[in-house]
Amino acid sequence: MKLSLLCVGVSLYTLYACQPFFSHSNNQETKMPVTNISAPRIDWRLHGELPAAKGMTSSIGISASFTGLLGDYLLVGGGANFPDGHPFFDQAIKAYYSDLWLFDTTTPTLIPSHHLQLPYPVAHGALVHAEHSVLLVGGQNAQGALSDIVEVSLVDGHPTIQHWGKLPFTWHSGAAAWYQGELFIFGGERNGQASAGVCRFNPQTARCQELEPIPGPARVQFPAQQLAGTFYLFGGIDPKSSSNQFTRTDAYAFNLNTLQWSQLADVSYQQQAFSVSGGAAVTLNEDEILLLGGVNLELFNNTLTQFGRLQGQELAQFKTRYFHLTAEEINFSRRQLVFNTRTNQWSALENLVPFTGGAGPLTLARTSQHIYWIGGETKPGVRSPLVYRGLVSRP
């Protein structure tokens, strides 16, 4: 199966990829699972560890990288982390990277085949698969948000990087799609403001046609996936929520031919609202989309509420307790949710992923047999260098 779209690029600033100080278990994870009988089994195994970035002596993991496929290679580019400690306890500054790695997917372990440098450090952009290349769209770094689009292609088996174009605005933390020679930009942050806008970018004219916006509020950090001529969008974060419901669970489909939106069943597990914000999506088959990772709905909303409500010493104490939580207490989702585009129904695979959940964002890639889980946050401020590979098989 060829992956037609992989949306990456979602970490809502330093404090937004996080959850509050609660010690109780996550009800999203402790209930008995609902099994999608038609869905495949995914056998997850540790596949390897990301190499250290240029200038670094060890790998501490990244989130918000560009992740996708280029021929038989798994592509992982850019990303961000905190190499000098914790952003709260150590006042560490977020670092961005320009490394671009290609790994041979035909090998049993994670072996780097090529290591290049992007024109600039970058994270929180979007990767789309064009006809014979991949496009790395937008993103941000220490100097601010970007409008650049970079093309990565294979020439005589060797990767090349070149400038492809520029958006008419800076953009990050949204999703993108490629359809019939045009680039579609969804939501994210445009020119410093969260947006619900949809742009159809024509590479010949370098102009952006504004289409019908995403229903509901402006949003960032939403998993999305393209299946043929339809783009699917799930949840996301509303940074300006007036009701303290920062994490969205609504879902929509955008017809890339008619340019119209339709509402889907809200993201749910066992008929309860479920958060996939900060997670990622890949196709399972021609009808089903798999969603992995994401912040905890109740805990995330409460954290952002407290960050906005508390002041002074109370806020400092809350943050101290919160950032001391373990990855298990932060409890990013390990559930393997499945959305059936034909029946408009949600289900879940029987098993959880057998490792710590991810967000911040987590990124994924899909080959015909495997799903690759790349790094991401295991808790706020902490990234994982580990890469997991899931073998997809029918029961």
Evaluate whether 373 touches 358 at the Cβ level (below 8 Å): yes
Looking at residue 287, which CATH number applies to its domain? 2.120.10.80
For the chain, give the mean pLDDT.
90
352: exposed, middle or buried (Cβ count in 10 Å: 0-12, 13-18, 19+) = middle
pLDDT of residue 39: 60
Specify the pairing of strand 345-348 against strand 133-137.
unpaired
- Per-residue pLDDT reduced to its tens digit, 293-347: 999 999 999 999 999 999 999 999 999 999 999 999 999 999 999 999 999 999 9
Torsion from C-alpha of 71, 257, 235, 42, nearest 10 degrees = -40
Could you give the number of structural domains in the chain? 1
List the domain range (segments joined by +) for residue 94.
5-393
Report the alpha-carbon angle 188-257-284, nearest 5: 70
* Percent of the residues in the chain that have a pLDDT greater than 70, as a whole number: 90
Per DSSP, which regions of 78-170 are E strands? 80-81, 95-96, 99-104, 112-117, 126-129, 133-137, 140-141, 144-145, 148-155, 158-166
Q: What is the pLDDT of residue 375?
A: 85
Q: How far apart are CA 265 and CA 268, in angstroms?
A: 8
The one-letter code for the residue type at 247 is T
CA distance readout (Å), 328 to 62, 199, 305, 324: 19, 39, 22, 11
pLDDT in tens, 20-39: 333 233 333 333 334 444 56
